[in-house]
Structure 1
Amino acid sequence: MRKLFHYTLLILSLALVTSYSHASSQVNDRAALADLKVGQAVFLIDIADAKKMNFYLEVIQGTFKGMQEQGVTPDFVMVYIGPSVQYLSTSPNAETEEEHGALLMDIESNVEKLAELGIKQEICAVATDVFGIDNKTLLPELNLVGDGFISLIGYQAQGYHLVPVY
C-alpha cells in the first residue's frame, strides 16, 4: 500500500511538472515588452530577511533569463542598501553567521551567478557603515558605492527603471 501511495505521488508530480512547463511556454510578456530591444532595470534590494533575500536573488536570475528568452536584452543593475548588506560579507558578525549559516553560502552563490550573467551589483557604503560591515570583507562581485540612493537616482536618470525589492 505504501509503495502504491509513493508511486501515485510520483505520477502526479510528473504530471504537474509536465503541465507547468507546457503552460509556462505559452505564457509570455508580449504586451509589456512590445518592441523593446533592451530592458534597463535597477533593482533596489532592501531586505532584512536572509531567506527572502536569497529567494529574490533567484527570482531576478529568472527574470533576466525570461527577458532573454523573449528576445529582449536585459541590462540590470542591483543596488543593495539597508539590512541587506549584512548578508554580503565574507566575514559576517557572529550573530548573523549563527542564525543564517548555510543560507549565507546560498546568497554568496547567487551573487556569483548574478555576476556571471553580467548583472552589475552595487552595495551602499552608508549601509555597510550603519550595519558595521567591514568594506574589505564584501563579496568580490560587489562594487562599493558611496550612497545607494544616489546610485539609484543616477541610474534612473540614465533611463533605468526602478524595481523595488523589499
Structure 2
Amino acid sequence: MKHMLIAVLVLFPSMAWAGNVDDKKALGNLTSLKMVCDVNVGEAKLLLRRLELIDETYSQLIDAGVTPTVVVAFRGGASLFVTQGAKYIDPGDAKTKREIQGWVDQFNQHGFRIEQCAIAAKAQKVDPADFLPAVTVVQNGYISIVAYQARGYALLPMD
C-alpha cells in the first residue's frame, strides 16, 4: 500500500498537467495590456519569487502575442531590497538582494516603469537617494497605483 501511495504522489503532478494549458480564452483577441504590480513583500526569498513570477507572466504574454506595459511598484518591506549597498538588509540576504537587483535591471531593460513609494521609504528609514538608479521614487505609492488603475492598468497584487 505504501508503494502505491508513493506511485500516486509521483504520477499525480504529471496527470494534473496532462493536456494543453493556455490562456487563449482569457486573452481573446488582445494585442496589448497594461498592468501595475504591487510589490510589498519584505522577505528576501519570497520577494525574489514574486519578481520571477512577474517576469514569467511578462514572457508568457509576449509568447502569446500580447504586448504588455508594466509598472512595478515597490512599497513596504520590499523597499529595502531595491536600495544600493547592503546597509538596509540582514547580511544573510545579500546574495538574494543581488538577485532581486538583477531582476530590477532586467525589468528596466524591458522598459518597465519601476517605482518606489516615498511613504514606505520613510517608514523603512531608507534615504530616497539610496534607491537604485532604475527606481523612480514617487510621493505616494497608493496614489500611483490607483492612478494607473484609473488609466486602464490592471492591478496585479504580489502579496
Instruction: Specify the TM-score bucket, using the shorter chain as the normaliser.
Output: 0.7 to 0.9
Q: Which residue of 1 aligns with 2:58?
A: 64
1:140 aligns with 2:133: yes
Using a 3 Å threshold, how does the CA distance of structure 1 residues 117 and 24 change in structure 2: closer, same or farther?
Answer: farther
| 2:145 paired residue among 148, 152, 158 | 152
Q: Which residue of 2 aligns with 1:82?
A: 76
Output aligned runs, 1:85-124, within 5 Å.
85-93=79-87, 96-124=89-117
Using a 3 Å threshold, how does the CA distance of structure 1 residues 24 and 108 change in structure 2: closer, same or farther?
Answer: farther
1:27 aligns with 2:25: no
C-alpha distance in 2 between matches for 1:33 and 1:27: 13
| 2:120 paired residue among 118, 123, 127 | 127
Q: Contact (CA 8 Å) 2:73, 2:145: kept in 1 or not? A: yes
TM, length-normalised to structure 2: 0.85
Using a 3 Å threshold, how does the CA distance of structure 1 residues 25 and 150 change in structure 2: closer, same or farther?
Answer: farther
Shift of 1:119: 1.1
Runs of 4+ more than 4 Å apart? 23-26
Query: Unpaired segments of 5 or more residues in structure 2?
Result: 1-13
Shift of 1:152: 0.4
1:49 aligns with 2:43: yes
TM, length-normalised to structure 1: 0.81
Using a 3 Å threshold, how does the CA distance of structure 1 residues 25 and 101 change in structure 2: closer, same or farther?
Answer: farther
Query: Unpaired segments of 5 or more residues in structure 1?
Result: 1-19
Aligned-residue CA RMSD in angstroms? 1.8
Q: Contact (CA 8 Å) 2:86, 2:94: kept in 1 or not? A: no
